Amino acid sequence: MAKFKIDHTVKSEHPDSRLDVFIKNLGVRVSRTRIISMIESGVAKVNGKKEKPSYKVKKGDRIEVEYEALVQTDVKPEEIPLDIIYEDDDIIVINKDKDMVVHPAKGNRDGTLVNALLHHTQIEGGSKERPGVVHRLDKDTSGVMVFAKNEDSHAFLSGEIEKRRVKRTYLTLVWGSFTRKRGTVNAPIGRSNSNRKIMAVTNINSRDALTDYKVLHDFKIASLLKVNLQTGRTHQIRVHMSHIEHPVVGDGEYDRNVLSVVKEVQLDRKKHFEYIDKLMDRQALHSVALRFVHPRTKEEVEFFAPLPEDFMRALNYLWAIEKEKK
């Protein structure tokens, strides 16, 4: 468990500044509730003595704090490059690469985003296996995601997600053409009865799941969608798109309806199907924007991640096909 120490001498007057608030502002990255407990137990001292959390800090006071990170993790820090969009004392926003797993799990202990984050910065919120994690992206889904760097941020952001206040926007390429240009898929998701490793639309041991989509461009053989999640179920977009018979391009797990979709495409366009599939060696799903309330400032912030090269190659090929037909 990581141990941290602060030894600070107050250099100026701080009228009406409570000890618990002052320690929080020194950069002790734990919750205020835990700071109060540390003061009351004498772990945090003023001039070598135990004081009350309400003690008014004065110029010349020496404040000493020794504490351990609450999360006991055995995840190994690894020096892995990160595409950092934004970072402060409370959060870090990452543009996740398509090939990276978010956190360690059975059979996959190394090379994850969490391994990389623990090498880059101090993480003190979350669980033992998932320090800092408040939401996830599938291994082959790219794009923007946020991690919490301390207990308060983790609790706040997890609560915002639970209350469905975080807006997650994705771009995806799916097979087929749409008659309706926007819609909402409202279908519960749970473990598949035939294959427990994947998810499915089912009423058995499932949770509600809602996905809003808008068709940005219809290429006939495939369509570019903007998708917003109202809920955050495992593989939600991929399962819902497959359910409405528009599986995500390049998705090897939820593409059972691909053949039926392709059969509806004009004969002269079918030759392009396999090439488009090869251009995307993973599901064509990208987290393009993330909007949420910052845990400290309580102001709404939004972050974006540009489309990766493989996604752009597939899009450019579809544009070229369309241009040929005009």
Catalytic residues: 138
DSSP 8-state code for residue 118? H
Nearest Cα residue to 286 out of 171, 173, 174, 146:
171
In terms of Cβ atoms closer than 10 Å to its own Cβ (0-12, 13-18, 19+), residue 170 is buried
Q: CB neighbours of 257 closer than 8 A, spacing ≥ 6?
A: 175, 242, 245, 246, 247
C-alpha to C-alpha distance for 228 and 281, rounded to whole angstroms: 24
Q: How far apart are CA 305 and CA 3, in angstroms?
A: 35
In angstroms, the CA 245 to CA 255 distance is 9
| Alpha helices per DSSP H over 165-294 | 236-243, 258-263, 267-270, 273-279
Phi and psi for 215 in degrees, rounded to 5?
-80, 115
- Per-residue tokens: 318: 């579809």
> Which residues, 6 or more positions from 221, have their beta carbon under 8 angstroms from its beta carbon?
175, 176, 177, 262, 265, 269, 270, 272, 273, 276, 318, 321
- 302 strand-pairing partners: 291
Write the Ramachandran bin of 152: left for phi over 0, alpha for psi from -120 to 50, otherwise beta: alpha
Amino acid symbol at 9:
T
> Which of 75, 90, 92 has its CA nearest to residue 145?
92
As a dihedral over the C-alpha atoms of residue 101, residue 105, residue 110, residue 112, rounded to 10 degrees, the angle is 20
